[in-house]
């Protein structure tokens, strides 16, 4: 194989040749390096650069035998350099572009890598890998066969208070927690919504609530009621501050411990004596007695102070085996309110 060269063009005067002599360029391109020491009285050049390759059909493979430089009109003036014996080593294959993995960035060369190269990966913001992940380019031209996984940062449990309910999406980067006050409580301080951040901490602080006002007053949409042991259906709440009274069940549920006042007024229209009761957690605590008078409408009332714990229930019940009715509508009422929060001493 023979490689021919071109010489750099330059000014025709004052050119410094690679042989360190100054002289004129021959034909505007060849540098005059005849220093008088060569005896064939011809001009030579001592530098150039390779620009193409030629080879006879029989010599297409290595080794390269010689390299020639110059563009001289004399064939015996072409500079030649004979290359020594060549040693062919095993062919080294390179790897393609380094693979990408979700939520990662890497320091890979976009043009590919040679065998033995290592590409280091780092997790995107908000993601983490317990080790410093990397891939090595193998001598088979393939990257290591492993998957690099970056998981979302875990912020841990965001906490809660005894007076709030919470809705938690999760505890990792990007998740949120939302707080609401428990029934009967009102907002006190803290954040209603908090977010898990890339640093592994929650924004804001846990929300807390304080006891609010509790009061209810209910009538009924029915005209009368009787012959049943179920709670009297006071299903029309005209007041329900704190939302502790259930119109579908006719039951008041204490949202927290405290001293409560309960008040009941019943109207009857029956020839029999009416017995009704204030019932707390299934037990009768007060009796409402209405004695009939000439089949005319009669009324009976009762009230009571109750120290209730959270979750205790209160409703009105009739003595179901007697033949009488309670007149409802606007004539009978069931009411109650909180006097003081907490245990009374």
Distance CA 258, CA 230 (A): 26
Place of tokens 């034909």: 27
Domains and CATH numbers, the chain: 1-88 (no CATH), 90-152 (2.10.70.10), 164-211 (2.10.70.10), 215-341 (2.60.120.40)
Over residues 49-87, the pLDDT tens digits come to: 333 334 344 434 444 444 455 555 555 555 554 455 545
Beta-bridge partner residues of 215: 241, 337
- Of the two residues 135 and 228, the one the predictor is more confident about is 135
Q: What is the pLDDT of residue 337?
A: 96
Over residues 24-40, the pLDDT tens digits come to: 444 444 444 444 444 44
pTM here? 0.55
> How many other C-beta atoms can be found within 10 angstroms of the C-beta atom of residue 17?
18
For β-strands 325-327 and 104-106, DSSP reports them as: unpaired
Q: What is the pLDDT of residue 73?
A: 52
Over residues 116-148, the pLDDT tens digits come to: 888 999 999 999 998 888 998 888 888 888 889
- Of the two residues 125 and 18, the one the predictor is more confident about is 125
Structure tokens at 118: 């290592």
Distance CA 312, CA 90 (A): 86
Structure tokens at 215: 């009061």
Over residues 189-224, the pLDDT tens digits come to: 999 999 999 999 999 999 999 999 999 999 988 877
């Amino acid at each position: 194989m023979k490689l021919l060269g071109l010489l750099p063009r330059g000014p025709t005067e004052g050119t410094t040749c690679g042989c360190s002599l100054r002289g004129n360029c021959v034909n505007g391109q060849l540098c005059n390096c005849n220093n008088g020491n060569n005896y064939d009285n011809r001009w030579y050049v001592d530098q150039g650069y390779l620009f193409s390759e030629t080879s006879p059909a029989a010599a297409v493979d290595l080794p390269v035998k010689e390299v020639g430089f110059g563009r001289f009109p004399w064939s015996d003036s072409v500079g030649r350099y004979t290359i020594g014996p060549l040693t062919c080593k095993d062919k080294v294959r390179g790897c393609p572009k380094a693979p990408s993995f979700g939520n990662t960035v890497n320091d890979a060369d976009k043009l590919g890598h040679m065998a033995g190269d290592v590409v280091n990966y780092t997790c995107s913001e908000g993601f983490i890998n317990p080790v410093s992940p990397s891939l090595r380019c193998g001598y088979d031209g393939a990257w290591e066969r492993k998957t690099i996984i970056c998981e979302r940062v875990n912020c841990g449990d965001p906490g809660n208070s005894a007076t709030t309910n919470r809705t938690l999406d999760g505890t990792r980067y990007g998740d949120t927690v939302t707080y609401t006050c428990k029934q009967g409580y009102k907002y006190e301080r803290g954040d209603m919504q908090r977010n898990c951040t890339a640093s592994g901490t929650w924004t804001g602080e846990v929300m807390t609530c304080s006891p609010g006002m509790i009061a209810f007053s209910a009538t009924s949409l029915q005209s009368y009621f009787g012959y049943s042991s179920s709670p009297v259906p006071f299903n029309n709440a005209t007041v329900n501050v704190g939302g502790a009274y259930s119109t579908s069940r006719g039951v008041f549920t204490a949202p927290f411990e405290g001293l409560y006042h309960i008040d009941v007024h019943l109207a009857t229209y029956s020839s029999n004596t009416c017995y009704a009761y204030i019932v707390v957690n299934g037990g009768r605590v007060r009796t409402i007695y209405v004695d009939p008078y000439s089949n005319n409408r009669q009324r009976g009332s009762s009230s009571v102070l109750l120290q209730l714990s959270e979750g205790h229930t209160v409703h009105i019940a009739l003595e179901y085996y007697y033949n009488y009715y309670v007149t409802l509508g606007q004539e009978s009422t069931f009411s109650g309110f909180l006097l003081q929060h907490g245990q009374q001493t």
